[in-house]
Amino acid sequence: MKAKKFCIILGILLLTGCSLFATGKENLTWYDTSYGAIHKGAKEEGITEEDIMGRTEIAGDVFIFYEKKVSEGDAIGVVNIGKKNGKYTWYRSSPEIQIKNQKNNSSPSVHFKVDSLSKHKYTVYLGRAKSNLHGIDTVNGNRVAPAIDKKRQIYYFMEPIR
C-alpha cells in the first residue's frame, strides 16, 4: 500500500514538475567552459560542488547528478551540461526526485525520463544502494551495474531511450 501511494505521489510530482522546466530553454545562460556552467548552475540550484555525486556521458551528452537537501528530506537532481557553438550551459529538464524523507525512510528504486538540450531522451535510474547491490534491471530488460556514490549510498544509471 505504501509503495502504491509513493508511486501516485511521484507521478503527480513528475507531471506537475515537468511543466515547470519545459519552457526553460529560452532563459539559459551560456558560459565559455563546462566548469563555468557547472559552477554557476550549482550556485543557482542552491547546491555546492560537494553535493555533486558524479558525471555521466552518453552519445556526447554530459549529465551531472547531485544531491540536494530539501525540507522533506534528500532529493537527487539530474542536469545536462549542454553545448552549443562552443559555449556551455546548465540545463535541467526534470524536477529533483526525493529519495529519502525526514524519517530516514528510503524510497524504492525509481526511474524517470530526462531530455538533453540536444533533444535526446534518456531513462534515469536512482535508488539507495544496499551493501549487496550487484546490479539493477532496466526497462529494456538489461541487467547493469550502476555507478554508486558510496558516501551517500545512492546508485544512479542512465541509458538512451530507443
Concatenating the DSSP letter of every residue in 70-124 gives ETTEEEEEEEEEEEETTEEEEE--S--EEEEETT-PBP--EEEEEE-TTS-EEEE
Q: What is the pLDDT of residues 122-131, one digit of tens each?
A: 999 998 887 7
Q: What is the pLDDT of residues 101-114, one digit of tens each?
A: 766 666 668 999 99
Quote the CA–CA distance of 37 and 83 in Å, as a whole number: 10
SS3 state at 20: helix
Q: Give the global pTM.
A: 0.80
Q: What is the pLDDT of residues 20-79, one digit of tens each?
A: 344 356 689 999 999 999 999 999 999 998 999 999 999 999 999 999 988 888 899 999
For residue 137, what are the β-bridge partners? 143
Count of CB atoms situated within 10 Å of the CB of 43:
12
